[in-house]
Amino acid sequence: MTTLVALATKDALVFGCDSLGTTTELLIHPFDLLEFFDTKKKLELKRDKKGKPLLTDFGSIYRKSKHIPYTHMTHMTKLFSLEPLEMGIMTTGIASIGDRTIKSLIEEFKSKESVFRTKPKSINYAVKSIASKFLNFISKYYVDEYPDEKRKLDLDLEFILGGYDKRSPIPTIVRIKLPEKEIKETLKKGKFGIVFGGQMKEIQRLVFGTDGKNRGKIRDRHRELLKQYRNKITEFLKQKNISIEISVLSVEEIDKLEMFSDGWDLDRFQATWGDFSEQNAIECVDFFVNIMIKSQQFSDGMPTVGGEVHIALVTKAEGFRFMSREEYHHAGYFVAKEKQDKKI
């Protein structure tokens, strides 16, 4: 579980992520199944009026399960340079495919693609084309390791890849997803803004006014309100001996009502992303990653986002540079990582 943030401005692209690795398991608390058992009859299975058990299939149990953090791994690497190209990539989801870590696969990808070895740089390259090459590369490992039936499990893998095309001064950010095998451009051509990946509930509430789950609850409450209001009107008309049937609006029809034409949007965070300086962008990305880290640190559940924040700056002129301190350390002795030494 991870939080990824990428911010594209007119002058730079900034990546940010946490460094806590978490494995989750689908677990069920025994008391969550009590609704299927009769507490007045020695916890026998409840039955319907026809005598059939209420608990009839595995799906009824599965739907009660929740993803619970099971193991933690600190100091995980989720942000990678794609030098010599002016690009970087971040990952969330599974940390390994079989016996290969995502980190080792990214390093192998760079070693095999000629565009990373050409000196001087390749005549032409683009963020989308590199994303397509990477998807083709990693999909082979993914498909070989996880047959169709296994992919129904929690084996999602997502990458945010961003940077500059050879012939463009404007940054591009794309999202790569498995098992869907899809690549999506996140910002319209020539637009600037911020992109999130992984866990982002608290960030969504700040940036978009609410998160997707709460937006769904708002929709449900409005639909229920309209339904109850219809029932009251129908009952009133019956009392007045007026036989008029009020049709029931479908979910789609309710969503198309003029009062909901804004897509249920709420007041949101306002910023002119494109005009951020490099330092503004670095601080903003750090701010959003820390929102998730701190909100989980103080919540009543086990954190799935945490650790050090890793930040990188990508510019057209200077390429990929880490802004966070990237080093190995032991007993007060510090050694900079090789990629850090080349830039700082």
Q: Which CATH number do you get for residue 196? A: 3.60.20.10
In terms of DSSP H, where are the helices of the chain?
58-62, 102-112, 127-145, 201-207, 212-239, 251-255, 278-297, 338-341
Mean of per-residue pLDDT scores for the chain = 89
The mean per-residue pLDDT over the stretch 1-12 comes to 95
Diameter of the chain measured on Cα atoms: 88
Range of the domain at 241: 212-260
Q: How many CA atoms lie within 13 A of 133 on its CB side?
A: 17
Whether the per-residue pLDDT at 15 is higher than 70: the answer is yes
Q: Of 225, 227, 223, whose CA–CA distance to 252 is shortest?
A: 223
List, as one string, the DSSP characters of 260-293: GTT-S--------GGG--HHHHHHHHHHHHHHHH
Q: Of 303, 326, 341, whose CA–CA distance to 72 is shortest?
A: 303
19 and 108: one domain? Answer: yes
pLDDT at 343: 45
Q: Which segment, 11-15, 228-232, 335-339, is predicted with the most confidence on average? A: 11-15
198 and 114: one domain? Answer: yes
d(CA 331, CA 327): 13
Give per-residue pLDDT as tens, 279-330.
999 999 999 999 999 999 998 888 889 999 999 999 999 999 999 988 888 8
Residue at a domain's end among 244, 260, 276: 260
Residue at a domain's end among 245, 260, 275: 260
177 and 245: one domain? Answer: no
127 and 218: one domain? Answer: no
Whether the per-residue pLDDT at 262 is higher than 80: the answer is no
172 and 300: one domain? Answer: yes
Give per-residue pLDDT as tens, 87-135.
999 999 998 999 999 999 999 999 999 899 877 677 789 999 999 999 9
* Confidence tier at 202 by pLDDT (50, 70, 90): very high
pLDDT at 287: 97
Q: How many domains in the chain? A: 3
196 and 127: one domain? Answer: yes
296 and 308: one domain? Answer: yes
d(CA 205, CA 188): 23
pTM reported for the whole predicted model: 0.82
Residue at a domain's end among 201, 232, 260: 260
Q: Say whether 211 sits in a helix, a strand or coil.
A: coil
The mean per-residue pLDDT over the stretch 25-38 comes to 88
276 and 146: one domain? Answer: yes
* C-alpha gyration radius of the chain: 25
The helix or strand, by DSSP H or E, that contains position 37, with its residue range, turns out to be strand 37-38
9 and 43: one domain? Answer: no
Whether the per-residue pLDDT at 227 is higher than 80: the answer is yes
Distance linking the first and last C-alpha atoms of the chain: 30
* Confidence tier at 341 by pLDDT (50, 70, 90): very low
* Confidence tier at 50 by pLDDT (50, 70, 90): confident
User: Which residues, other chains included, contact 211 with Cβ-Cβ below 8 Å and sequence gap of 6+?
Assistant: 200, 201, 202, 204, 205
Lowest-pLDDT choice from 169-178, 209-218, 244-253: 244-253
230, with CB counted inside 10 A (0-12, 13-18, 19+), is middle
With beta carbons less than 8 A apart as the criterion, state whether 97 and 142 touch.
Answer: yes
Whether the per-residue pLDDT at 68 is higher than 70: the answer is yes
331 and 278: one domain? Answer: yes
